[in-house]
Amino acid sequence: MIPVTEYFAYVRNHLRFLGFGFLLAFTSSAGQTYFIGIFGPQVRETFLLSHTQWGLIYMVGTLASAMLLPWSGHLIDRFDLRIYTTAVVSGLVIACVAMSLTPTALMLVFSIFLLRQFGQGLTSHTGITSMARYMSSGRGKAIAICSMGYSFGEATLPFLAVIAISVIGWRSTYLLSAICVLAILPAVLWMLRGHAERHQAHIEAMDREDADDALGSGSYTRRQMLAEGRFYLLLPALLAPSYVGTGLFFHHLTLADSKNWSGAWVTGNYWVYALCAIAASLVSGPLIDRFTAARVVRFYLVPMIIALLLLVPAKNPLWVLPYMVLIGVNTGIYFTTFSSIWAELYGTRFLGGIKSLVGALGVLASALGPVSIGTLLDAGFTFEQVCMVFACLCAVATVTLTRGLRHY
């Protein structure tokens, strides 16, 4: 059961800063796969691209973003959050404008790179990292509230984008997106009022943490994290939602065709996914605060495994509903637990560098997921067999995750 009164009290005490995280998560939608994918048919028609060519352009732009993200995301540890946020949101505005003005298919790669870097990458990274770093006393609830911005965007923006594209065209729709993102910037900066005091309190807390630690190493650097084996045991479970989830969403219309279901029925139930992701985030947030993310996260892939296995025998289109419910639950738990666990395991002093690397790996996985499914389908696998393969991968990831956290 969601502790409503507990959330209300927490939001009331930290309204502006929680609003900052929520708004950045929502704004990152301009560079997320589910939003960009809506423009796919019109973009392919404009530049005379095949499905394969469009997928390749998207993959190259995404991979380029993943390569840069460990450096660009690490800068949040070095610059004032207000300056960093201004640069990131301004970059997303430029990315949306670039997409609307893209003249050639070659330049489309650069536009996708900008959208993925400043949208899915840095705007999302800024909001989640800020919650994990500064809201230590209620980290789980803070990240859960911030993550609702993703779900709100998933539930509302695809529908609005489809309408806008039909009325003003895809280029003007992305230009309108740039205007909306720019209009959000003053509100985001207003929500950071008083941040200097918050940051000073955080620095003092870090100094006390290091003073209390016998080795003076309460927080890990990125290099120290990479030097221990535990991180690599967590890695498969970290990448599974980006790899499997993005691949499934990218190929949902293919799934519909393989089952003789309506594509509109499958995509029209994204709101079920979004609502369940919100509910799972809100429930898991207080559980993290009470039991730690390391305990809550251990079996978080089980809903995704069940969802994949449900699709194997499914014939009736009503099976879409429990599938969306389970995928949404998995996503909601993922948002809160894996955003919190890095702070628990490795401290918060160098959290920006750690989260940027983790984010880059997630972006890389999201680029490979759609290609992997497409390759398996082209090789003669049925969609049901693809689901079985992915369910097995998630089961293996659950085993390595449990092993990696067994001594925590």
Query: Among positive and negative, which fits the CA dihedral 280, 282, 288, 290?
Result: negative
User: Looking at the chain, how many residues does it have?
Assistant: 408
Q: What is the pLDDT of residues 355-373, one digit of tens each?
A: 778 888 887 888 788 778 8
**CATH number, span 10-404:** 1.20.1250.20
Report the chain's mean pLDDT, rounded to a whole number: 85
Q: Cα(317)–Cα(333) distance, rounded to whole angstroms?
A: 26
Reply yes or no on whether the pLDDT at 212 is more than 80: no
Decide if 116 contacts 65 (C-beta within 8 A): yes
**DSSP states of 116-138 as a string?**
IIIIIIIIHHHHHHHHHHH-GGG
Return the closest-CA partner of residue 119 out of 153, 77, 78, 168: 153
For residue 323, the model assigns a pLDDT of 95
* Between residues 107 and 283, the one the model is more confident about: 107
Kindly list the domain boundaries of the chain, sorted by start residue. 10-404
Q: Cα(359)–Cα(69) distance, rounded to whole angstroms?
A: 7
Q: Where residue 206 falls among pLDDT bands split at 50, 70, 90?
A: low
For residue 215, the model assigns a pLDDT of 39
For residue 2, the model assigns a pLDDT of 55
Kindly report the pTM of this predicted structure.
Answer: 0.77
Place of tokens 């659950």: 398
Reply yes or no on whether the pLDDT at 1 is more than 60: no
